[in-house]
Amino acid sequence: MLNITENKLNRRVDLSSYEAARKVFHNKHYGYINRLLLVFSGLVVVILFLPWTQTISGNGYLTTLQPNQRPQTVQSPIPGRIEKWFVREGDFVEQGDTILFISEVKNEYFDPRLVERTQLQIDAKSRSVGSYQEKVGALQTQIGALANERDLKLQQSRNKLIQANLKVESDSIELEAAHTQLTIAERQYNRTSQLQDEGLKAVTDVEDKRLKLQESQAKLISQENKLLASRNEVINAEVEIGRVQAEYTDKISKARSDLYTAQSSQFDSEAQVTKLENEFANYQKRSDLHYIRAPQSGIVNKALQSGIGETFKEGDALVSIMPTEIDLAVESYVDPIDLPLVHLGEKVRIQFDGWPAIVFSGWPNVSYGTYGGKVVAQETYISPNGKYRILIAPDADDHPWPKEIRVGSGARSLALLQDVPIWFELWRQLNGFPPNYYQNPASSETSAKK
């Protein structure tokens, strides 16, 4: 019954006669309770001033430090059909071991002698290139011979021109001599005629002089004809030089045209040879791709394509492999409000799924079943889940992580921040404030040096 009235029952009724009242209403009971409350209050006050380590919690899973150590799928760069499997799920494979054999599904690669026939085409085209090279060499020799012959012909024509010029000079001198002889003959004839008129010379002397005069005139005309003929020979020699130059220019131009045609054919054949060699190398590489090999040592987890005769496209995953030599790490996610508090090298406590642990968030030293780690990387762009990703590696100063844990299993992380009293942490939690901001030792030393 509640004591909510001013009429006190114990003042009007004597309860001492009752056994229950005698056990309840006595002064010792109040003394025990007061001492108990006093001791409890003291303990609470002491506990409020105990140190408490602020933490940032995050959930994630196990992964690896190196990207090449994470589970991977093996794809085929070409489409094909599965012909034979060489491994089973759970088998260990070394790097380069054959996993399965595939065959072609494209009709342009069905020929089993495709590589051999391509090599025959390369040999034939190579011989064609050699023939064109020989033709180019022969044409170059022909051009050289024509150039030498042209030089000799031109030299011969120039010599004829020189001879003609010399003959012109000789005929010119002889013409001058003929003029002189004619003048002398005229003078002698006139003198003899005058002497014959005076009776000092006979008529025969006059006739002899007239004959010599006529001979001189005839010789003059003949010498003029010779001079004209010599000048014509000079002109003919000059024309011959031009004709020789034109003739051999035409021959050399035609030979060069044939040379350029042969060189063009040679270059075209060399381009075809290069193209065929490229196709040959591609065919060889493609034939090697028929054997799907392990990119690294590991365990065959699962065959993503199964059966015999099943077809697939290029880039389709065929089998998944888990590397054996790995460096474990924890991929955890933290809230955006806590990201500025996480620094590289930060100490972290980790709890793995399947491993019993007793975690004291504020007292990591007394936590049981947790393992130490350090933050080695943090994401600078938010993840699709609205949180930021951090990567945690094992702490070398702490006890090693269990060997039985596997990549992909869950993990919970506790990033250790500043040590504060418990009353401060309670006050922060009640007010919804974030953990205290602080600087890690490395940044503090850097600031001090500055």
- What pLDDT is recorded for position 141? 92
Query: What are the pLDDT digits (tens) for 99-150?
Result: 999 999 988 888 888 889 999 999 999 999 899 899 999 999 999 999 999 8
Which contiguous run of DSSP H or E holds residue 298?
Answer: strand 298-303
Instruction: HSE, CB side, 13 Å, CA atoms: give it for residue 125.
Output: 19
CA–CA dist 238, 220 (Å, integer) = 27
CA–CA dist 264, 134 (Å, integer) = 13
The 8 Å CB, 24+ separation contacts for 187-196 are 188/212, 188/213, 189/213
- Three-state secondary structure call for residue 382: coil
- What pLDDT is recorded for position 38? 86
CA–CA dist 72, 86 (Å, integer) = 19
Using DSSP bridges, classify how beta strands 98-103 and 311-312 pair: parallel, antiparallel or unpaired: unpaired
Token pair listed for 178? 């003929």
CB contact set of 165 (below 8 Å; sequence gap of 6+): 234
- What pLDDT is recorded for position 297? 92
CA–CA dist 320, 58 (Å, integer) = 29
Length of the chain: 450
Which domains are delineated in the chain? 1-48 (no CATH), 54-68+326-449 (2.40.30.170), 71-104+290-323 (2.40.50.100), 114-288 (1.10.287.620)
78-87 mean pLDDT: 92
CA–CA dist 292, 312 (Å, integer) = 13
pLDDT category at 367 given cuts 50, 70, 90 is low
Share of residues in the chain with pLDDT > 90 (%) = 24
- What pLDDT is recorded for position 14? 66
- Three-state secondary structure call for residue 4: coil
Query: Among 225-234, 323-332, 351-360, where is mean pLDDT lowest?
Result: 351-360
183-192 mean pLDDT: 82
368-373 mean pLDDT: 78
- What pLDDT is recorded for position 292? 92
Measured in whole angstroms, how far is the alpha carbon of residue 226 from the centre of its chain? 84
On average, the pLDDT of the chain sits at 82
DSSP character at residue 341: G
Degrees, nearest 5: CA angle 333-320-58: 10
CA–CA dist 138, 68 (Å, integer) = 60
- What pLDDT is recorded for position 7? 65
Token pair listed for 136? 């180019």
Instruction: HSE, CB side, 13 Å, CA atoms: give it for residue 101.
Output: 4
Q: Give the torsion sign (CA, 105, 110, 112, 117).
A: negative
Using DSSP bridges, classify how beta strands 92-93 and 298-303 pair: parallel, antiparallel or unpaired: antiparallel
Res. 92: pLDDT tops 90: yes
Q: Of 28-32, 217-221, 425-429, which has the strongest mean pLDDT? A: 217-221
